[in-house]
Chains A and B, each alone.
Chain A
Amino acid sequence: MEKLSEWTTRIALVLILVVVTLPILLGYAWLLISTFSLRTFGLMPVNARGELGGFTLRNWSFLKDPLIWQVTINTLVFALGITVGVVFLSALAGYALSRMSFPGRRFTLTLTLLLHAFPSITLLLAIYFVLRWISAVPIIGGLLGYNTLGGVTLVSTAMQLPLGIWLMKGFFDNVPWDMERAALIDGCSRLRAWWAIILPQIRPGIFALAIFSFIQGWGYYSFLIPYSFMIDQTRSTISTYLNNMISTTSPVNYGQVAAVGLFQLIPVLLFFLLAQKSLLRIFSGGTKGAA
């Protein structure tokens, strides 16, 4: 009797999970199937007469276009730029906010949280003027100004920083003070202690932040800023490239859109497969082995 109820609970649980996950799984299945089909009827690839068939590689022909590779490299530079920028600056700022006492510390903390909650769309106009202004500065303007990959990276990094700083601060808070004191007494400067002793303790946190930042840069979330501030097609990122495909006046080839989408998904999936272990470890804390 008891065994029976245990089984029914288990079956019920699995059923609930299946029902909830199904729409997402179906979505991915459709994405995968439609990239290799002329068109689809539901999940079924069909030919012109509506019969099963119509398999094609035509949707992937965009890979032959040199522009996609240029765009991919742009996106990679963009995403990696954000990742490096966000991780480096958050690790420094988070440490300062966690460990140092300086005037305005509380204010900075509150402001950081506030900025995180601030909708970035409202800043678009102001950012436009700032980037235009940077463009006018010689040398720097060409790297970080309007309509440059650098400028867009800079702005996107800034948008990500509040969250990153808070995350890092939380991780630093969990590193015991004694460990840092020991490093100072052993002969480290504050910076050296940060680099050689404290950072290794929060490696899972750094990893997590790096992954989140990369995905933000790579995926569709960061569409708005490249879309607004980069007009050259050769400088666009995958998300703006995708957007162009949908918004052109000619009929949209959804098979091709799906193929580009899948292409965009591949690095993220790989990243997750490789990083799954470290991602899960975040929740077990960063000071494993500390007595």
Chain B
Amino acid sequence: MRVRLNNVSKNFDGTMVVKNLNLNIEDGEFMALLGPSGCGKTTTLLMIAGIYRPSEGTIEFDGRIVNRVPAKDRHLGMVFQSYALYPHMTVYENLAFPLTIQRKPKTEIRREVIQMAEMLGLTEVLDRKPGMLSGGQQQRVALGRALIKKPRLLLFDEPLSNLDARLRVTMRAEIKRLQKELSITTIYVTHDQTEALTMADRIAVMRDGALEAVGPAEMLYERPPTLFTAEFIGHPPMNLLDVALEERGEEVYARLGALLLKIPRSRTPRRFASRVKMGIRPQHVTLARQGGYPAKVYLIEPQGNQDVIICDIEGAHVSLVAAPHHNLTMGDMVNIAFHMENAHFYESDSGRSLL
């Protein structure tokens, strides 16, 4: 099912929670709504679900405006962060509930539930109440309950945030595989960029109720269109440094304190702004044997496969990723090199990309 949001806004008692949202979700697409808590992503999801009605704008399913269609008639399934299982029903009854409401014949319900339980590995626990299940099993029941009525649209509201780290990785893969197999249009709300990056076809980054950027993971990672996106996506977070742009003859430089960093042609800002932030990912700053610029090691964060080293340079903190076993300690002097072919430039005030 194609989902389209046209200028959708929502205000609660005068507070604008979602502002003028425009978003297209293609049939079979996996779209992640990514943003910090309180950015309006769950409100947006609940509007699509039919729980909230938009204050302004329209929501279309396959070209039909559904603003006034109640949730029960929207043919969708939803998985909640709290799972929202019905505690007074067994797993079997939970899974059967959407079909019972549809007054499907008992034998058909039985077949569907057993099939779903097999697919999700819940056959053993069908007679148990949700309170007796582990977090992962509850999550699977919630998923099964959303899938069993063969919805045309699947909604997820931070479904993995109550699971422990290992289970989260497993479930992430499982949900993605299921979504691809069933090719149901999916909207997935999360504040975890890893989930969004690994699972979604496209990511919509939201901030303060407004859409900040939309695009596939690689696009948002490699060319974040706004300062906020640059900051929010990628781990460790991108370095953002206040610089001044200087033109010297044919060449353009970024001035960081006393340092002059040459900007390659491919990365030269389209226009100059008075206050500019240069963004460069920690992966694109390296320890240099020769050349580079002197910096002082401020902090070392080992991460097993790599170490994040935060350096003091020209009054700014720059983090870089280095292989372990570097024998550095806090306070050491190092030389670091900026790989300027990967630098980004943003106007500080508007946050817009200058590339």
**Which residue numbers of A lie inside 8 Å of B, CB to CB?**
176, 178-179, 181-189, 192, 197, 200-201, 203, 287-291
Contacts and interface: CB of A to CB of B under 8 A. Distances in A.
A184 B51 contact: yes
B25 to A, nearest CB: 18
A227 B108 CA distance: 59
Nearest to A287: B87
Contacts of B50: 184-185
Nearest to B81: A178
Contacts of B87: 201, 287-290
A94 to B, nearest CB: 19
A289 B72 contact: no
Query: Which interface residue of A176, A287, A289 has the most chain B CB atoms within 10 A?
Result: A289
A198 to B, nearest CB: 10
Interface in B58-99: 70-72, 74, 76-78, 80-88, 97-98
A279 to B, nearest CB: 19
Given A178-B80, A185-B49, A291 B71 contact: no
Given A176-B82, A185-B49, A185-B71, A288 B101 contact: no
A181 B82 contact: no
B135 interface: yes
A185 B72 contact: yes
A52 to B, nearest CB: 57
B102 A178 contact: no
A201 B88 CA distance: 7
B129 interface: yes
Interface of B: 46, 49-51, 70-72, 74, 76-78, 80-88, 97-98, 101-102, 129-132, 135, 138, 145, 149, 155, 162
Given A192-B101, A289-B131, A291-B130, A184 B72 contact: yes
A179 B130 CA distance: 13
Given A181-B78, A197-B86, A201-B87, A186 B138 contact: no
Given A187-B72, A192-B101, A176 B84 contact: yes
Contacts of B51: 181, 184-185
Contacts of A288: 87, 131
Contacts of B130: 289-291
21 contacts: A176-B82, A179-B82, A181-B49, A181-B71, A181-B84, A184-B72, A185-B51, A185-B78, A186-B72, A186-B97, A187-B98, A187-B101, A189-B70, A201-B88, A287-B87, A288-B87, A288-B131, A289-B88, A289-B131, A291-B135, A291-B138
A181 B155 CA distance: 12
Contacts of B145: 182, 186
Contacts of A188: 72, 101
A61 B131 CA distance: 54
Nearest to B76: A185
**Top 10 A-B residue pairs of the complex, sorted by shortest distance between their CB atoms:** A289-B131, A289-B87, A178-B84, A187-B101, A182-B84, A200-B88, A184-B71, A186-B98, A178-B80, A187-B72
Nearest to B146: A185
Given A184-B51, A185-B77, A188-B101, A291 B85 contact: yes
B140 to A, nearest CB: 12
